[in-house]
Amino acid sequence: MTRARSTRTAVLLLARRVHYLAGLAIAPFLLLLALTGLCYACAPQLGDAIYADQLFAAETTEPPYPVGEQVRAALAAHPTGAVRQVRAYADPERTTQVVLADRDLPAGQDRAVHVDPYTAVVTGDYPTADGRAPVQTWLGQMHTNLHLGQAGRLYAEFAVSWLPAVMLFGVLLWVLGPKKRKQRLRSTNAKIRVRAWHGLVGLVVVAGLLAITFSGLTRSVVAGERVQSALGTRPGAIERVDVVPGPAGPIGYDQVLSTARDRGLTGDLTVTPPKAYGQPFTVAEASPGLPVRKGVVLVDPFQGTVVGEQDFSDYPPLGKLRLLAMAAHHGTLFGVVNQVLLVVLAVGIIAVLVMGYRMWQQRKPAPTPPRALSKLPRNVLVPLVLTCAVLGWLLPVFGVTLVVFLLWDTTAQAAARARAAKPPRRRPTHAVPRGVGGTGIPVITSGQGRRRSSGTSVTPHSRRPARDPRVRTPV
């Protein structure tokens, strides 16, 4: 066997082992992510349908009230609240959302109050974590952490951390695997046909999974900060001019929005009031879809002038890619088409997992692919170890679980070798064979050697000598 052929065989064995073991480990968690993601893809329409009376205005014929008066109406309905954000929608049919801090709600939650812009009347309110309707928040938390808090997010991070390795080795198996794929898809052998469809559908969903994985890793609870710092996805700090308090006093929300629109901001705008005296208002674009609107403008609360701004063009290349991946992950990049693609992707992932379990069942008891690290040449093994070390530092969940797996695998292999090297237990040479008496005469049981129903044999009385059945005693 040539060196190239042996290297190819070793790489295939490693790919099969990692794809098999890691795939079985993350498959249950990946199935949960796919099912909850399938529900979350339909959350925007579901929220609009359930909370239509609060989110949409009854009539749009009258001129809208100033945003400042709408904010005062929300504060009048909740006197103990403090304004955190005000969102003014470009859609004239939508109500204005005023997010208030509420001490009666659990930590991390605020109260979203909706005001009809044409009547300045509060249409309703609900608790929210990020401005979304409760059904969207519930489905989002179900997808992210199964409603288990920060600890629950580890299940998703475990699956997403191992997903690149599973996808990489799966594609490698498909590329280096057997050819004649069309014939294998129509094969009469169920095992060959399921494996062929598993590889084809898996290859199709890899493109969507790459965007989902990139977006999920940048927001994971353990590796999120490291990934963003290593890749440089964050934009730089907004350079701003110091705010100088003036005698005119703070300006209103309407002037802040007018200044931001004059600066070029369009679509839905979110206004965040200053958190301390002498700080500016922050106005950010919040419209979904293309073109990407991520402009931010800082407005002087006394003079009404722009003291700092940032545009989508100021983001680094990987930062722009992250924003696009996040929008695609949330189903807001292409609107309804994006949501349909997410549904198709979730169904494809579920199909791949079901076919994977079917392959495992067809081979049951399925033998684990053999170890292949020792067979890899040095020019492949060294880069592989270095890559795993870097990924283990960048993705701690991946690193810890990889070390645990290697320790378990090494221990299991050592125990198997010890059992194989242990000599078989032999019967001592001086032991009396079963069925032979102490005098060397075979013991004949009642029933001429046939086993009784109780499973025990009958031996002669200890005081009487064993009688030879061949010798007949005369009557």
Q: What is the pLDDT of residues 390-417, one digit of tens each?
A: 999 999 999 999 999 888 878 877 787 7
The answer on pLDDT for 264 being more than 50 is yes
Comparing 42-46, 77-81, 377-381, 437-441, the range with the smallest average pLDDT is 437-441
What pLDDT shows up at residue 451? 47
pTM assigned to the model? 0.79
What per-residue confidence (pLDDT) applies to 167?
A: 92
pLDDT tens, residue by residue, 21-74: 888 889 999 999 999 999 998 888 898 899 999 999 988 888 999 999 999 999
pLDDT top residue among 463 and 401: 401
* Chain centroid, CA 435 distance in Å: 65
* pLDDT per residue as tens digits for the range 172-205: 888 887 777 778 888 888 888 888 899 899 999 9
Using H for helix, E for strand and C for coil, what is the string for the chain? CCHHHHHHHHHHHHHHHHHHHHHHHHHHHHHHHHHHHHHHCCHHHHHHHHCHHHHECCCCCCCCCCHHHHHHHHHHHCCCCEEEEEEECCCCCECEEEEEECCCCCCCCEEEEEEECCCCEEEEEEEECCCCCHHHHHHHHHHHHCCCCCCCHHHHHHHHHHHHHHHHHHHHHHHHCCCCHHHHHCCCCHHHHHHHHHHHHHHHHHHHHHHHHHHHHHCCCCCHHHHHHHHCCCCCCCCCCCCCCCCCCCCCHHHHHHHHHHCCCCCCEEEECCCCCCCCEEEEECCCCCCCCCCEEEECCCCCCEEEEECHHHCCHHHHHHHHHHHHHHCCCCCHHHHHHHHHHHHHHHHHHHHHHHHHHHCCCCCCCCCCHHHCCHHHHHHHHHHHHHHHHHCHHHHHHHHHHHHHHHHHHHHHHHHHHCCCCCCCCCCCCCCECCCCCECCCCCCCCCCCCCCCCCCCCCCCCCCCCCCCCC
| Radius of gyration in angstroms for the set of CA atoms belonging to the chain, rounded to a whole number | 35
* Per-residue pLDDT, 158: 92
pLDDT at 449: 47
Q: What percent of the chain has pLDDT over 90?
A: 32
Averaged pLDDT score across all residues of the chain: 83
What is residue 456's predicted lDDT score, i.e. its pLDDT? 47
Please determine, for residue 138, whether its predicted confidence score (pLDDT) is greater than 50.
yes
The residue with greater pLDDT, 228 or 379, is 228
Tell me the one-letter amino acid at 145: N
